[in-house]
A and B are shown apart, each in its own frame.
Chain A
């Protein structure tokens, strides 16, 4: 899937662009190069509809002159001189930030589990066979069920970072992912569920997402009338919780936002901000972590960083420029990179964001059934619509769910056809919260990856049945 010398090729190209920067007398430069390769297949209306492959990549050039920076991106290395000129021109117009320099070369810890040879060896035919397994599984589980959409993909990416300060770093990572949307349309009633997962290693069981999708399409078919709007406990599955969590929390823990009063946790360093049994850790060194690696996107060694310890806010995330800027502006006395620079490919300069963000509890955790008993009366919410409309500044959200079950006296009594769910996530996490006893990795609507409990019971939310 990926040439054996992919990293070397990228490194050579990046060094060549670096040499152009030297020729242009650029004070400090950073060249980021990436190249992705992959195969994927799409499912539509219960069949494999398309298979595709290919790759893309490019270069990002960041230059720094007297604390001013400029950036340009390109695909064709032959246009590097022009891109360097553009970046220099932009740097001249940018404000100078005292103390802002590109990071130096510090030793970094290797992180394992970033690539899996089994993925590199996968052929398009292998992927199509996985598609067959998925479609067969849907039918086996429920003859009424149809995989209306989804797909499976494998990818391999090579990246290289070369800087004037001596960083020469490159690596290969792999991924394997599935997304599956299953519907059951019978007796004029359609229920559906979308599930997905991804991993740096080949997925052990490609059909586990199918089981979840069919399950939720089945259990939401027994409709009951919606009741009145109520403020009540809600048991959220990781699929329902993580989209909201990923919109609201990663933004709130960025150092610059905290310093500027743009976070609901601004001014609360060393104060209790979550329930006292909860902790939040940003782990950039997680083995096999989808957002981990030995260095961040500007070459700073990654860290495992406590953000909230036993409910108390004790950490924040910084990239090099944000940190220098906040100090220069007098917003904080001291700040330095926490190895938290990330970027969405070569078209983006490094920006502060989380890595593998883990929500954990020191209190006793429970399985789903026990949490339902604990809740006694309330709702189970599996997925939400409109998580991206949550307000990351305030933590307020107001979303809609069509996979919601009502619980009375510790028993599931049926599904609502639709309901609104609203509240403030920051406040809910500081109220009564009980976590489920296993952690699941989920994607993110903002940066990084979310490691959240499979289920969690929260108070302080409002359910508004349709």
Chain B
């Protein structure tokens, strides 16, 4: 193991909250009891959420939350204790150690012990400084920015309501382990979103918009908020007269949002090594195998500054780096944490994330992006499609990682006829099997970038970014 110390990028955080001496003594006690490993991780979050309804402030909520989680590994099994009462955590060493021992006692000889891959033991602080610290943003500024969206979104008699939301957070984490790891890090996220509801007689539709990323106020200022509101209004009005989408197998072209959701659901989740280890991934045993079209290269990158899924250090204290999940169609890497890295005999790659200080880390995605291809633009992607669908904007998706089946839904879509976009349609969802559809990707535009920010649920919810270029799939099941 290597011990190194790094300078922090800036004195951005508000100081340590854990009593290092007390924590170190508690972790020593865990070791004396017989623990193989013990850690205490604290997360303090300073948050602001706000919302407008029809241009009026509906709510603004400042919050300060803190949570601390202790993990103890004993006899190859985990015991965990989480609490919002920081002072009480060190009193739980013995009971948490006993929990781990009780789990270990139930393991049959044929079952794997939990062991952790070695990682560099680091003592440092890393604080990602925002250009404009979001904690300095006052409510009047927030309202002004939400109104910039709202004013443009509601400007039509068929728009029956608008809702605009704001969320920012400053996340401060401290991790101290029995191995000597002692790391502190902090960063910020900012988000603005909205929903427009339009009505024409009995027909009611809604359209959602979202912009955000890692960073402070500058993230929101970089967005043309008026244009975002205007576009949402136009889309909602268009949906009012859109017909229901056709059903069946057909060529599909996805915009950046949907390309991102597709790659997140269809590939990202099955690449999570905890699911692979559990026997719940269709990608088990396929490292090195060609699973997609050779034009597909997919990266999950928590270091992609500005992405909503960024983080400087993972929640096991491992430095982050980009992970090449697929390179030219070949599956090259799983997302992992220390436990799965040991299990598969590979290097930990910084994929451990917990929802907050009250949850333990799982293997999660960060910013997942399919790299650009060779097609110039949308026109070139659709020019040789006789009949298909161009689908835009995400309403979310889901995956069954074991079977390898996935589904995602679009906010709006167009029929492609004879190489051109013809009429708008609505209620487009797309489903398929990961191992089939990845091979059917047969066109990508050149310009890959992150799309709208999202949230990923896996028992715990974490912010993620995803995106890519416009993507063409030879044949997909549109429902």
Contacts and interface: CB of A to CB of B under 8 A. Distances in A.
Contacts of B33: none
Contacts of A163: none
**7 A-B pairs closest in CB distance:** A420-B479, A389-B409, A52-B80, A398-B429, A400-B407, A54-B82, A400-B431
- Please report whether the interface of chain B is mostly helix, strand, loop or mixed according to DSSP: strand
A462 B247 contact: yes
Interface residues of B, number: 79
Contacts of B63: 72-74, 347
A389 B56 contact: no
A389 B397 CA distance: 7
Given A52-B360, A393-B197, A79 B99 contact: no
Contacts, number: 245
Contact of B102 (A124, A229, A348): A124
Contact of B405 (A45, A56, A385): A385
Interface stretch (B172-180, B198-206, B223-231, B377-385): B198-206
Contact of A125 (B102, B108, B431): B102
A330 interface: no
B61 A71 contact: yes
A93 B143 contact: yes
Given A52-B79, A148-B279, A386-B398, A128 B102 contact: yes
B477 A466 contact: yes
A58 B477 CA distance: 47
A373 interface: no
Contact of B84 (A57, A125, A229, A389): A57
Interface in B122-148: 139-140, 143
Interface string A254-281: 0000001111101000000000000000
B338 to A, nearest CB: 14
Given A70-B60, A400-B479, A418 B433 contact: yes
Interface of B: 56-57, 59-67, 69, 77-85, 92, 95-96, 99-100, 102-103, 106-108, 111, 114, 139-140, 143, 160-161, 197, 199, 202-206, 245, 247-248, 274, 277-280, 282, 358, 360, 395-400, 402-403, 405-409, 426-429, 431-433, 477-479
Contacts of A58: 65, 84
Interface residues of A, number: 76
A124 B405 CA distance: 36
B384 to A, nearest CB: 25
B163 to A, nearest CB: 9
Given A71-B59, A266-B199, A466-B431, 5 more contacts: A149-B280, A183-B279, A389-B396, A389-B409, A420-B478
A46 B433 CA distance: 25
B100 A51 contact: yes
Contacts of A146: 279
Residue from the set B203, B245, B431, B477 with the largest chain A CB neighbour count within 10 Å: B431
Contact of B160 (A95, A191, A260, A462): A260
Given A53-B99, A183-B280, A261-B160, A48 B64 contact: no
A95 B51 CA distance: 12
Given A56-B358, A393-B197, A73 B65 contact: yes
B26 to A, nearest CB: 15
B81 A396 contact: no
A73 B429 contact: no
5 contacts: A49-B78, A71-B59, A261-B199, A389-B407, A422-B247
Nearest to A422: B479
A420 B431 contact: yes
A176 to B, nearest CB: 18
